[in-house]
Every structure is written in C-alpha cells, then in structure tokens.
C-alpha cells in the first residue's frame, strides 16, 4: 500500500512537469491548431542555458528567472522570424518547420554542450520532505513551482485584459482585429509564454532525468498524451491529463515493469483517439452541414 | 458645411481576380448616418470591409481628412472606427461581459469604460441579465445587440453596421433601429449602414447610395430617394 502511495505521489510530481508541457502544447494548439513538436527541445535548450548561467557563477534563482525571461523572448523571436512566414502555408509545411526546429535545437545542444549526461542542481534540500516517506523535497518543491506557474498562467488568462485579448485572438482572429487586438503579436506572445512555461518544466525535471539533449523526448510524449487525454483544446484538461498520465506512468512502472512506461503514453494516445477524441474536458465539435 | 467625417473617392476592391467595387464614392457627414443599399452581391459588405482595411483596395478613404486606406485594421480601429460585422462576429466561447470588455480593448480610460457598461445597459437592459453567460448561448437578436454594444464600447467616431437586421424578427429589428437612432442623436455617433431592408435604412439615414454590381447607380438624400417612386419600385422593391 505504501509503495502504491509513494508511486502516486511521485507520479504527481512528474505529472506536474507533464502538465506544464501539456499546457504549453495546448496554448499553441488553440491559436494555430497545430502541435508544436519542438516544445520539448526548446525547454531542453533553455535548461542548458540555465546550466551555463549557473556554471558562470550565478545563484540558482537568478539563473532560473533569467532563463525563463530569455526563453520568453526566444519564443517570441521564433514565432516572429520562423513561424510567421509560414502562417498561411499548408499544415504539412508548418509541421515540417516544427520538426526542423526540434532537430536544430537537439543538435545545437549536442554541438555546444556534447551528449555527455550532466547532473543538474535542485534548489531544494536533498532527502525527504519533512521526514515523510512519500515525497522527496525536490518532488515537493518542483510540484509547488509547477502549480505556482499554472496558477499564474490561469490568473493571467482569466483576469488581465491582455490575457483576454490572447484568448479572443485564438478563437476569433477576425473579430479580434475589429476590436483593435494585434492578433499577430498575440500569437507571438503565446509562443513566448509557452516557451517560458517549458523552460520552468525543463529546469524542474532536469535534476531527476539529468541534463542531456534528449532529456525532453519522453516527456514531450507523456505531455502530448496528457494533453490529448484532458482535451487538446482545453488548458484545464491538459493540466489534469498531465497529472493523470504522471500517476499512471509511475504506477504501471511499478506493477508491470519499467519497460512498459513509455508504452503507457502511446496506449493512452491511441485509446483516447479511438474512444473519446475530444478528451476528458475537451469540446466535441459538431458542425452543421 | 463642415468637412465630412468619412470620405471615399474612386474606391476599387477585389478578392483575388474577382473585382467587386468599380470606383465608388460616398461620404458620411459628421454626426450623420449614411446608408448603402443594394441587392445581394452588389458589394455592400465589401465596401464596409474596405473602410476598415479588411480587403485590398485602390482609391482614397479619408477619415477626418486623414488617409486610412492601406492601414491595418487594428490601426483603423484605434482611430475610432467600430465595425459590427456581417455574421455579428461574436466571441462565442467568451462571456457577454468579456465580449464587451474586448470592445473597449484599445481604450485606456478605465473608469470611463466601467461607466460605459451602465450606458450599454440603458440601451440593452437584457445584456445585464446575460452578463456571465457564454455569448454563444444568446439568441440571434441578443447577439446582434451584443455586437452593437461591443462596437459602442470603443466610443467610436464612426460606427459601421453590416446588415444589423439580418435574421431578426421584425419587432426586434424595429427596436434595434430605434436604439441606433437614439444613439446617433444622443451621442452624435456617425454611422455607415449597409442594409437590404431599404425602407428601414432610409428612415434612419440622412443620405443613401444605391449600389449595383459594384457601382453607384443612384445617390441623394434619404428623403428624396424614399419619395422617388420610380427608384423605389425598380431598385428597392417596396
């Protein structure tokens, strides 16, 4: 029983990471109806940046916030320079651009930092959290950070005029222009936010999976499974789905063997697409013909 | 005579290779209401889209003496042109309140915006009851009221109205047009109205232009057109 509980809590900790990346995926998806396959590699690259900043002698939290800020600006730049020119291109072209970004960031990281696995520091004390046997301090801390980020993002979208404009631009670009919203910039801002959220997720997961250019590969898959499970067009669903996938993955890892962990993500993806394509909280789109 | 608020000269517009407007000219007086009439496909909607930069055009469009043709839509909106588009343009998944807030998105005078909510409720009391409701769940008439209200939240100098009567019950249309007239009188908001319902439009407007396949065939004061039996029979069909 305790083993199961432990796995559930550990699952919630990694689930928080999946939830963040899933949220980043959903944000881009809502605006463009495309899944940014490069989301994970962008996060990985940001994590390397944080590592470099710390190597240069910056304190952990300074490096953390600086990295998140750079990731935000970087996300905006990528949208403006690379994505915007292909905005009206066929879907397949944009997907190829995403895959291109994935490969570029992956090899860039390998080229600059080599493929050797690096340890990554955690800002939280080692050992278990307040002497309980279910959660380590890092798991607890990273869960708190992820939940904090998610709360901030939701508050931003729910309560600020800019957040409202971004939601409006994603669902009705034409009407948004007619009330004066600069839709192109809202898209870029969405990329910036998604990239920043990814950077936080990368930094939080790096102490667990260690720093290497392929560290986000599996995570992106889990996050995608989580986003689909919750509903690819529902930010709340994506977060819920991310946590669920985290728990499932851990529990399955214990009872069926770790070899099957990644399979869980793929089974979830296929099952959701077959049984309930709209996901748990997603909307079912019905069109009159 | 003061200079007109909106002046359009020799306006051409096209969608790809299809030419829709062939050099039309019209104007909206400061505080006046102009209407553009015509059958389906005459180019009415395109004319409104041209004014707010949503289609490629040639020719001159002047707002308060300043050229606005070629400017992006967002900038024209920021100059005080609000558009109630064809199909109402409701943000279906947002609440009524959020729709109204978006209308005031470019404004920086927070307190005034808050006061304008009250102003909107005076015209459309029903919206106050629906404030927290998802806009997509409103009836057609309510969505049209919401579209007009969203545009009014900009405190526009010029209000563009694309067939506000479309799909509404006659009584609702009557009410809506009365309110539009009241807004024009009380606040001096200039309007450019595109309508298929000519009799209604001619009652509200002071000047009218009649479009036929992208050309102005008749123009004049609303009164003279309303009283010209030949025009009424042959073009307006009532």
CB contact under 8 A, B83 and A172: no
Per-residue DSSP letters for A101-162?
A: HHHHHHHHHHHHH-S--B----SSPSSBGGG-SS-BHHHHHHHHHHHHHHHHHHHHHHHSHH
- Gap from B231 CA to chain A (nearest CA, Å): 34
Locate the chain A residue with the closest alpha carbon to B76. A180
pLDDT at A265: 81
> Considering only CA atoms, which of A246, A223, A254 is closest in space to residue A9?
A246
Count how many domains chain A has: 1
Residue A288, pLDDT > 60, answer: no
**Interatomic CA distance for residues A134 and A159, integer angstroms:** 36
pLDDT tens string A45-74: 999 999 999 999 999 999 999 999 999 999
Q: What percentage of chain A reaches a pLDDT higher than 70? A: 96
Is residue A254 included in any domain, yes or no?
no
CB contact under 8 A, A180 and B91: no
pLDDT tens string A220-249: 999 999 999 988 888 889 999 999 999 998
What 3-state DSSP class applies to B2? coil
Residue B14 tokens read as: 């096209």
A&B contacts, CB < 8 Å: 61
pLDDT at A131: 65
- How many CA atoms lie within 13 Å of A6's alpha carbon, on the beta-carbon side? 12
| Chain B positions in Cβ-Cβ contact with residue A172 (cut-off 8 Å) | 89-92
**Interatomic CA distance for residues A260 and A264, integer angstroms:** 6
Average pLDDT rounded to a whole number, residues B46-68 = 93
Per-residue DSSP letters for A23-49?
A: HHHHHHHHHHS---TTHHHHHHHHHHH
Locate the chain A residue with the closest alpha carbon to B48. A178
Interface probe with B: pick from A88, A159, A175, most Cβ of B within 10 Å: A175
Contacts of A228 (CB under 8 A, 6+ apart): A241, A268, A269, A272, A273, A279
Using only the alpha carbons of chain A, give its radius of gyration. Answer: 19
pLDDT at A286: 61
**Interatomic CA distance for residues B149 and B131, integer angstroms:** 12
- Residue from the list B85, B93, B94 with its beta carbon closest to the beta carbon of A178: B85
CATH number of the structural domain B6-92+156-236: 3.40.50.300
Q: Residue ranges of the alpha helices (H) in B80-109?
A: 96-103
Is residue A252 included in any domain, yes or no?
no
Average pLDDT rounded to a whole number, residues B166-183 = 91
Residue B147, pLDDT > 90, answer: yes
Mean pLDDT (chain B) is 91
- Beta strands B207-212 and B215-221 are antiparallel
Enumerate the domain spans of chain B. Answer: 6-92+156-236
| Chain B positions in Cβ-Cβ contact with residue A175 (cut-off 8 Å) | 85, 89-91
Is residue A37 included in any domain, yes or no?
yes
**Interatomic CA distance for residues B207 and B225, integer angstroms:** 9
| Phi-psi sector, A118: left (phi>0), alpha (psi -120 to 50), beta | beta
Residues in chain A: 289
pLDDT tens string A78-132: 999 999 999 888 989 999 999 999 999 999 999 999 999 999 999 888 877 766 6
- How many CA atoms lie within 13 Å of A116's alpha carbon, on the beta-carbon side? 5
Interface probe with B: pick from A159, A179, A183, A185, most Cβ of B within 10 Å: A179
pLDDT at A185: 94
CB contact under 8 A, A171 and B73: no
Looking at residue A12, what DSSP letter applies? H
Is residue A84 included in any domain, yes or no?
yes
Average pLDDT rounded to a whole number, residues B182-191 = 94
Interface membership of A281 toward B (CB under 8 Å) = no
What 3-state DSSP class applies to B88? coil
Interface membership of B106 toward A (CB under 8 Å) = yes
Contacts of A102 (CB under 8 A, 6+ apart): A37, A38, A40, A41
CB contact under 8 A, B105 and A175: no
Q: Judge whether A247 and A208 are in contact, CB under 8 Å.
A: no
**Interatomic CA distance for residues A142 and A215, integer angstroms:** 17
- Gap from A55 CA to chain B (nearest CA, Å): 44
A-proximal residues of B, 68-87, CB under 8 Å = 72-74, 77-78, 82-83, 85
**Interatomic CA distance for residues B155 and B103, integer angstroms:** 9
**Interatomic CA distance for residues A178 and B109, integer angstroms:** 19
Label residue B201 by pLDDT band (50, 70, 90). very high
- Residue from the list A168, A174, A183 with its beta carbon closest to the beta carbon of B102: A168
Vertex A261, ends A260 and A266: CA angle to 5°?
Answer: 90
If you search the block for the tokens 């209308």, which residue do you land on?
B103
CB contact under 8 A, B91 and A175: yes
What 3-state DSSP class applies to B158? strand
CB contact under 8 A, B83 and A178: yes
Q: Judge whether A38 and A45 are in contact, CB under 8 Å.
A: no
- Gap from A38 CA to chain B (nearest CA, Å): 29
- Residue from the list B74, B92, B94 with its beta carbon closest to the beta carbon of A177: B74
Interface membership of B182 toward A (CB under 8 Å) = no
CB contact under 8 A, A177 and B154: no
Interface membership of A132 toward B (CB under 8 Å) = no
Interface membership of B101 toward A (CB under 8 Å) = yes
Residue A285, pLDDT > 70, answer: no
A-proximal residues of B, 139-158, CB under 8 Å = 150, 154
Residues in chain B: 238
Interface membership of B105 toward A (CB under 8 Å) = yes
Is residue A32 included in any domain, yes or no?
yes
Domain residues for the domain of A132 are 16-214
Looking at residue B63, what DSSP letter applies? E
Label residue A3 by pLDDT band (50, 70, 90). confident
Mean pLDDT (chain A) is 90
Locate the chain B residue with the closest alpha carbon to A165. B102
**Interatomic CA distance for residues B16 and A286, integer angstroms:** 31
Label residue A160 by pLDDT band (50, 70, 90). very high
pLDDT tens string A34-43: 899 999 999 9
Q: Judge whether B75 and B63 are in contact, CB under 8 Å.
A: no
Is residue A59 included in any domain, yes or no?
yes
pLDDT at B197: 87
- Gap from A102 CA to chain B (nearest CA, Å): 33
| Chain A positions in Cβ-Cβ contact with residue B45 (cut-off 8 Å) | none
B-proximal residues of A, 179-218, CB under 8 Å = 179-183
Interface membership of A287 toward B (CB under 8 Å) = no
Looking at residue A80, what DSSP letter applies? I
Q: What percentage of chain A reaches a pLDDT higher than 90? A: 61
Comparing A166-175, A278-287, B140-149, the range with the smallest average pLDDT is: A278-287
| Chain A positions in Cβ-Cβ contact with residue B83 (cut-off 8 Å) | 178
**Interatomic CA distance for residues B8 and B160, integer angstroms:** 14
**Interatomic CA distance for residues B232 and B227, integer angstroms:** 8
Is residue A208 included in any domain, yes or no?
yes
CB contact under 8 A, A176 and B94: no
């Amino acid at each position: 029983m305790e083993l199961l509980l432990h796995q559930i809590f550990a699952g919630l900790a990694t689930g928080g990471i999946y939830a963040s990346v899933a949220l980043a995926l959903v944000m881009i998806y809502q605006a463009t109806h495309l899944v940014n396959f490069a989301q994970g590699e962008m996060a990985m690259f940001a994590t390397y940046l944080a590592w470099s900043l710390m190597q240069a002698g910056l304190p952990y939290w300074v490096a953390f916030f600086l990295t998140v800020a750079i990731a935000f600006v970087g996300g905006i730049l990528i949208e403006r320079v690379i994505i915007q020119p292909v905005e009206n291109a066929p879907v397949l072209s944009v997907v190829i651009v995403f895959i291109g970004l994935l490969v570029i960031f992956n090899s860039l990281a390998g080229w600059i930092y080599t493929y050797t696995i690096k340890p990554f520091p955690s800002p939280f004390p080692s050992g278990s959290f307040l002497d309980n046997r279910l959660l380590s301090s890092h798991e607890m801390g990273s869960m708190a950070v992820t939940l904090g980020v998610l709360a901030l993002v939701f508050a931003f979208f729910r309560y600020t005029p800019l957040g409202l404009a971004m939601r409006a631009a994603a669902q009705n670009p034409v009407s948004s222009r007619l009330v004066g919203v600069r839709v192109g910039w809202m898209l870029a801002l969405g990329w910036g936010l998604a990239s920043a959220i990814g950077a936080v997720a990368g930094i939080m997961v790096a102490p667990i999976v260690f720093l290497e250019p392929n560290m986000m590969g599996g995570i992106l898959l889990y996050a995608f499974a989580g986003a689909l499970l919750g509903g690819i067009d529902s930010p709340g669903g994506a977060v819920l789905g991310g946590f669920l996938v985290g728990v499932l993955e851990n529990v399955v890892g214990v009872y069926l063997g770790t070899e099957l962990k990644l399979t869980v993500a793929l089974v979830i993806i296929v099952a959701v697409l077959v049984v309930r394509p709209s996901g748990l909280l997603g909307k079912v789109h019905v069109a009159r013909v | 005579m003061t200079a007109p608020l909106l002046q359009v000269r020799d306006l051409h517009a096209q969608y790809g290779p299809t030419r829709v407007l062939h050099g039309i000219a019209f104007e909206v007086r400061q505080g006046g209401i102009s209407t553009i009439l015509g059958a389906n496909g005459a180019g009415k909607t395109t004319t409104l889209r041209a004014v707010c930069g949503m289609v490629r055009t040639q020719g001159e469009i002047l707002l308060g003496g300043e050229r606005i043709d070629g400017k992006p839509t967002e900038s024209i909106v920021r100059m005080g042109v609000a558009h109630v588009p064809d199909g109402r343009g409701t943000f279906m998944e947002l609440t009524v309140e959020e729709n109204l807030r978006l209308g005031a998105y470019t404004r920086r005078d927070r307190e005034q915006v808050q006061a304008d909510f009250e102003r909107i409720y005076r015209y459309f009391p029903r919206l106050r009851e629906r404030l927290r409701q998802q806009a997509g769940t409103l009836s057609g008439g309510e969505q049209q009221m919401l579209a007009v209200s969203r545009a009014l939240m900009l405190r526009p100098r010029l209000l563009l109205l694309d067939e506000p009567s479309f799909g509404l019950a006659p009584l609702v249309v009557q009410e809506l047009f009365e309110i539009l007239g009241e807004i024009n009188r009380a606040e001096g908001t200039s309007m450019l109205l595109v309508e298929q319902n000519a009799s209604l439009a001619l009652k509200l407007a002071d000047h009218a232009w009649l479009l036929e396949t992208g050309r102005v065939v008749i123009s004049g004061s609303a009164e003279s057109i309303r009283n010209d039996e030949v025009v009424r029979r042959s073009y307006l069909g009532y």
